[in-house]
Structure 1
Amino acid sequence: MPIRQFQAQRMHAPRDFQMIRPDPVCVEIGAGKGKHALLFSAQHPEKKLIAIERTREKYLAMQKQHVLEGQTNLQAIHADAMPWIVHALLPAQVQQFFILYPNPEPHNPAQRWLNMPFFEFLLSRLQPGGTVTLASNIPEYIAEAQQQLIEVWKLPFVKEVIPGTSARTHFEIKYLERGELCQQLIISKPEGYSTRFDDFKPLQGQNPVQVVTSETDIKNAE
């Protein structure tokens, strides 16, 4: 499937957008109610995780649980992922991206992650040696993504079957309890891999920094 070039310069900043610190980060796209984000940040206190969720109800549920658990290395973001990433992240800033059980877009295949021009921009934000974890319970989705990695993106990957004991997200728990096959691709960015956005800097680089690290900060951010 041919991929046109992503038009990053046309992306408007999300409402109430504020920059983050230029430190290495991990990013979860479509974090839902935050089950994986909270688990990952608790298990990896040395890593900073940004969890992006577009749906306000799910974002607020994640935010509420974050207040209870108190991980200082987790920042919850209520925004559409694409414009937020364009405006907030620097080239090669991200250690890991997580895209766990995205909408399979059955009626619009062009909107699947590895079919979108935006995926090239996403790769430009990933560090050499960094990874993208893409999980799905739909075998055809994984098969198509695998084909795109080989034919279009030319990236190495590992395909894994997710064990029945895994419980990273509410969707994952539901699918595995049904006995469905859940799989993931661990996609790696090799040293020397280049994109057309490697020198593209955030469009709103002068915005102030905001990192949500406490219950007070979270309440103020609502």
Structure 2
Amino acid sequence: MPIRQFQAQRMHAPRDFQAIAQQPVCVEIGAGKGKHALLFSGQNPEKQLIAVERTREKFLFMQKQHVLEGAKNLQPVHADALPWVVHALFPAQVEQFFILYPNPEPHNPAQRWLNMPFFEFLLSRLKTGGSITLASNIPEYIAEAEQQLIDVWKLPFIKEVIPADSARTHFEIKYLERGELCQQLIMSKPEAYATRFDDFQPLLGQSVDVAAK
């Protein structure tokens, strides 16, 4: 399906927005209660992970667990991911994005991640050689995303079946215990890959105006 250009100028900074340093980071979008975020930060102490969650109840649970475990390389953020990404992240800053078991949007396919104009902006924040991991228990969701990677985004990727003993998120545990097929696409950003947002710099919470190139 055709993808419109993302209208970044409509994105206002999230409430209580705080800028981040211009250094390499990993970002989990829709981190939920933080199971994967805590696991990843513990296993990768050399990497900085920002875990973004919109739902207040889930964010507070993640924040509480973070305080208990005390991982200094994890930063939970309570915000809607789209405006936060626009205002917080610098071009080619992100080493890895994780989007694990997102809402499949059964009644609104245009809101699925690889169908959104925003995905182009997300790619502009990913460094060359960086990766985006998208996981789902819905075969049709993965199949559609795979086709979009081929037809629209022109990105190299690998498709994997997630092992039955994997336990990265509460959803993943539940789906695998039911015997559902869980899969993931790990896409990477090749050398010289260009987007229309490669030169866009965040304005640290100010309103944004991006001119089309």
Deviations 1:96-148 (A, max 9, x none): 00000000000000000000000000000000000000000000000000000
Q: For residue 14 of structure 1, what is the aligned residue in structure 2?
A: 14
Unaligned runs of 5+ in 1: 207-222
Q: Distance in 1 between matches of 2:50 and 2:136?
A: 21
Give aligned pairs, total.
206
Tell me the amino acid that sits aligned with residue 136 of structure 2.
S
State the TM-score, normalizing by the size of structure 2. 0.96
Deviations 1:144-202 (A, max 9, x none): 00000000000000000000000000000000000000000000000100000000110
Q: For residue 46 of structure 2, what is the aligned residue in structure 1?
A: 46
Tell me the amino acid that sits aligned with residue 139 of structure 1.
P
Deviations 1:44-63 (A, max 9, x none): 00000000000000000000
Q: For residue 178 of structure 2, what is the aligned residue in structure 1?
A: 178
Q: Distance in 1 between matches of 2:205 and 2:156?
A: 32
CA contact (8 A) 2:28 2:52 kept: yes
CA contact (8 A) 2:100 2:134 kept: yes
Deviations 1:55-111 (A, max 9, x none): 000000000000110000000000000000000000000000000000000000000
Q: For residue 106 of structure 1, what is the aligned residue in structure 2?
A: 106
Q: For residue 73 of structure 2, what is the aligned residue in structure 1?
A: 73
Q: For residue 150 of structure 1, what is the aligned residue in structure 2?
A: 150
SS at match of 1:40: helix
CA contact (8 A) 1:98 1:132 kept: yes
Q: For residue 26 of structure 2, what is the aligned residue in structure 1?
A: 26
Q: For residue 210 of structure 2, what is the aligned residue in structure 1?
A: none
Q: Root-mean-square deviation (CA), in Å? A: 0.8
TM superposition outliers: structure 1 runs of 4+ over 4 Å = none
Q: Percent identity?
A: 84
SS at match of 2:19: coil
Q: For residue 57 of structure 1, what is the aligned residue in structure 2?
A: 57
Q: For residue 90 of structure 1, what is the aligned residue in structure 2?
A: 90
Deviation at 1:10, TM superposition (A): 1.5
Q: Distance in 2 between matches of 1:126 and 1:9?
A: 20
Unaligned runs of 5+ in 2: 207-213
Tell me the amino acid that sits aligned with residue 88 of structure 1.
A
- Report whether the alignment pairs 1:164 with 2:138: no
State the TM-score, normalizing by the size of structure 1. 0.92
Q: For residue 199 of structure 1, what is the aligned residue in structure 2?
A: 199
Deviation at 1:204, TM superposition (A): 2.2
Q: Distance in 1 between matches of 2:202 and 2:21?
A: 12
Tell me the amino acid that sits aligned with residue 134 of structure 1.
L
SS at match of 1:174: helix
SS at match of 2:6: coil
Q: For residue 127 of structure 2, what is the aligned residue in structure 1?
A: 127
